[in-house]
A and B are shown apart, each in its own frame.
Chain A
């Protein structure tokens, strides 16, 4: 009897902790977000009236939302595209016969283990208007100092550089792992056909690791569209409000969510932003999946 009970019930006890914690702290908040977005809801005072889709109509005519969406997409594109392409080439370099393999692999991963907050603080200094090292270098070349956070283009460029710096090595290791699974015979026959290394890279390596490229595209899309800490801390004094610069020039959607929910206490509206962001992420992840699949296949 005891053995039967053990065999039938214990497996459920083994998986129970995961599902219990996930149900309470993962699934419930997501569904509750949907419910809250249909209400007038104050973060401190609690639920107000049912408002139906009023939050959504307000959001779609909210210029600050469109601004944040535009910033998010712009930052996403100029950080993710170069990052994945660079990672692909870096992986190809790492896939050659190297002495001290672990050293090189660990070296490219360093930016990824440093906390995003520390990274943001360092780069805030590096891109500082008055004492930043970038402006100092530009000064040596005779270029006037740039107030990096002040403009749309310069702030986006600087933030994209931070994101690219942080994630290129990580993605390169993912690609490297996939490249090592490519059977050597394919390279042999490409070489017999007289293909150069460069050509073999495009005709053998890239098509063979296509699933991994698709995987990183989707993961980077999900992560990139939720960009938060780098822009939040880019200008140190903006850290507490989340507006992303005096003209909201680098406010992302997640920062807008933060501003509405946690500094203005409009929880219903913030929940609406969260759900719309979720849909945007899902949509763009699907589009990117389709785009990259076609692009890589046509090679």
Chain B
């Protein structure tokens, strides 16, 4: 049998714990504004430095407002490193990883939530158990394995190991539990639908919102990943994060160049985040209640 339905308690909004009495409320807004300012300041500062002449940063008083050198700096970034290639590579890797995770995790999640098969519970426990294992500790053999496969320096070394994640399976299993009624699946079987068709035509449409959030998380995670790409790629064929570390390890420190690169590397993810902030925040909070 499928496991118990989610307890409904978390659906009931308890509203606010402290309603914020009249005297307190301006203070709360003030405090939150300060915190948001602190959260955003390094980004603002990135923009300031990225739009300044590198020599301006060495002045006695640092520039506190954006300058007019942004486009000069951008073209310097593209001239002095493989940044265009890096952006393309990161987009390919992050997109593929996101699509792969959504596909494989939703398949496994559907099977774990709605299909009966021998060993299901043991396999599910295995999935959850692997979530606690820091797999990056296997990085040395993983490197040797990719070398044997001839993948070192190529994007598949980043893509293939990241195509599945235990978190994704767990996430999609919960989504199927919540959004795909058992009766609907049964009815489709009775009508003679194959499992693949039930998955594709019944389950997948119902879990689209959860799948989108998972895809976003995976995209951002793959885009921002650093340790493994640093190890397995070379500076001639980098991702954005690797290209940034190359910019940073130059002979002399060119902050304007470094932070222009950082700005370019952050903008795609930040853009996605600002567009879909509500879904991402909701996803993290929903994940917290489930976890």
Q: List the interface of chain A (C-beta within 8 A of B).
A: 3, 6-8, 10-12, 14-15, 17-19, 21-22, 24-30, 32-33, 36, 43, 90, 92-98, 102, 104-111, 113-119, 121-126, 128, 130-131, 133, 136, 165, 169-170, 173-184, 187, 197, 200-201, 204-205, 212, 215, 222, 226, 228-229, 233, 236-237, 239-240, 254, 257-258, 261-262, 267, 270-271, 274-275, 277-278, 281
Contacts and interface: CB of A to CB of B under 8 A. Distances in A.
Interface stretch (B65-73, B74-82, B272-280): B272-280
B281 A19 contact: no
A215 B291 contact: yes
Contact of B281 (A109, A236, A270): A109
Given A10-B196, A17-B164, A30 B135 contact: yes
Contact of A261 (B105, B140, B220, B288): B140
B184 interface: no
A131 B62 CA distance: 7
Contacts of B248: 121, 124, 233, 236, 239
Interface residues of B, number: 109
A8 B258 CA distance: 56
Given A6-B194, A96-B20, A125 B259 contact: yes
B163 interface: yes
Contact of B258 (A98, A125, A131, A179): A125
A29 B281 contact: no
B137 A33 contact: yes
B245 interface: yes
Given A29-B145, A197-B18, A240 B249 contact: yes
Please provide the 10 A-B residue pairs with the shortest distance between their CB atoms, ordered closest to farther: A29-B138, A32-B141, A25-B161, A106-B277, A177-B285, A14-B111, A118-B262, A115-B224, A11-B117, A107-B36
A169 to B, nearest CB: 6
A178 B42 CA distance: 29
Interface of B: 9-10, 12-20, 24-25, 28-29, 31-32, 35-36, 38-40, 42-43, 45-46, 49, 57-58, 61-62, 104-105, 107-108, 110-112, 115-117, 120, 123, 126-127, 130, 132-145, 160-161, 163-164, 166, 169, 189, 192, 194-196, 199, 220, 223-224, 226-227, 231, 240-241, 244-245, 247-250, 253, 255, 258-259, 261-263, 265-266, 269-270, 273-274, 277-278, 280-281, 284-286, 288-289, 291
A121 B243 CA distance: 12
Contacts of A176: 285
Given A131-B255, A177-B285, A113 B273 contact: yes
B53 to A, nearest CB: 13
